[in-house]
Amino acid sequence: MYNPLDPPSTDFNRDHPPASDIEPIVRAALAEDVGDGDRTAALVDDAAQIQASVISRESAVLCGTAWFTAVFAELDPDLKLHWLAKDGDYVRPEQELVRLEGSARSLLTGERTALNFLQLLSGTATLTRRYVDRVKGTRAQIVDTRKTLPGLRTAQKYAVRCGGGVNHRFGLYDAVMIKENHVAAAGGLGAAIYQARMAYAKVPVIAEAETIGEVEEALKSPAPPDILLLDDFETHLLARAVNMVGQHSRHAHNKVLVEASGGIDQNNVRDVADTGVDRISIGGLTKHVTAVDLSMRVTD
């Protein structure tokens, strides 16, 4: 269950998605690419064996090794892979990441699908690391959103963790997130928060505030939210809201986290972090992704 108060984990093995999440996606990707057969690979001698390796052409944070491995395991369990780097590692140009050995046909058929997973997820992890590096020395955590590629949410959220970021709620079911339309329907932000607390005693509640007045209203609720989401606030208003929440938490002995979102990029994320917010959520981590440039080369 999602818990907004949990500290970020750096144990990527423990947090790795299970095979039951990875294998169906890999099978679907192979079906999309291979169809009823790889016409080009079929021209290669069925008995031909080759060795190959994957290198990075740029500096990046590696992510997606399990998806890459699963592609070749699905095609040919006799293929041998030896990883020279692991998820979460910072890799440099021309660094060798993995060595492969086995059927030429199988390696050629799986090359693009396997690289697609590795490049995309490494892109998410790399972009996340850039944001994380920019807020070092502050209390702010970099957080993802639900703006993920359909079918790849588990994978992309894992990539965010590999980059040093923190996951927001996974879906609509593991936290309550009260936004403008919910507030209008409930008759006010305070009323919406109270209704959420009464309906879901054990589910985290996130409430969006669009003005300082709504910050005050949320904090006056008999049961304030776990996270107060401040959308498109100017930095001076963010700092003011952080101070208000801090005073509330000290007096009420009820910790409320402050999250900033909206209009945040690598140029201004440090300014936002310096206001004292606890979290900064950025949809671009999983939405505006540039794949890392990787290449598979036959070595023998």
What kind of fold does domain 19-132+290-298 have according to CATH? Aldehyde Oxidoreductase; domain 3 (3.90.1170)
CATH of the domain spanning 137-287, picked from 3.20.20.70, 1.10.3470.10, 2.40.30.10, 3.30.70.360: 3.20.20.70
Window from 103-107, 235-239, 247-251, 269-273 with minimum mean pLDDT: 247-251
pTM surpassing 0.85?
Answer: yes
Q: Are strands 96-103 and 49-56 parallel, antiparallel or unpaired?
A: antiparallel
| pLDDT above 70 for 163 | yes
To the query of whether residue 202 is one of the catalytic residues in this protein, the response is no
Mean pLDDT, all residues of the chain = 92
To the query of whether residue 197 is one of the catalytic residues in this protein, the response is no
Choice among 15, 23, 231, 274 that is catalytic: 231
To the query of whether residue 231 is one of the catalytic residues in this protein, the response is yes
Q: What share of the chain is helix, strand, coil (3-state, %, to 5)?
A: 40, 20, 40
| pLDDT above 70 for 5 | no
- With a pLDDT cut of 90, the percent of the chain lying above it is 79
Phi, psi of 244 (to 5 degrees): -65, -45
Q: Over the range 264-295, which residues count as b (16 or more CB within 10 Å of their CB) and which as e?
A: beeeebeebbbbbbbbbbbbbbbeebebbebe
pLDDT band at 160 (very low <50, low <70, confident <90, very high): very high
- With a pLDDT cut of 70, the percent of the chain lying above it is 95
Q: Where in the chain is the domain with CATH 3.90.1170.20?
A: 19-132+290-298
> What is the pLDDT, as a whole number, of residue 1?
45
**CA distances (Å), origin 235, targets 47, 231, 261, 286:** 64, 11, 11, 24
DSSP letter for each residue of 91-149: E-TT-EEEEEEEEHHHHHHHHHHHHHHHHHHHHHHHHHHHHHHHTTTSSPEEE--S---
Would you state the structure tokens that stand for residue 32, as one six-digit string?
Answer: 């999309």
To the query of whether residue 297 is one of the catalytic residues in this protein, the response is no
Choice among 112, 136, 139, 250 that is catalytic: 112
Q: Where in the chain is the domain with CATH 3.20.20.70?
A: 137-287
DSSP code of residue 43: G
C-alpha 110, offset from chain centre: 25
- Helix, strand, or coil here: 73? helix
Choice among 130, 146, 147, 270 that is catalytic: 147
> What is the pLDDT, as a whole number, of residue 3?
57
| pLDDT above 90 for 221 | no
Q: Output Rg (C-alpha) for the chain, integer angstroms.
A: 23
Choice among 99, 130, 146, 179 that is catalytic: 179
Of the two residues 1 and 255, the one the predictor is more confident about is 255
The 10s digit of each residue's pLDDT in 238-270 is 999 999 999 988 887 778 999 999 999 999 999
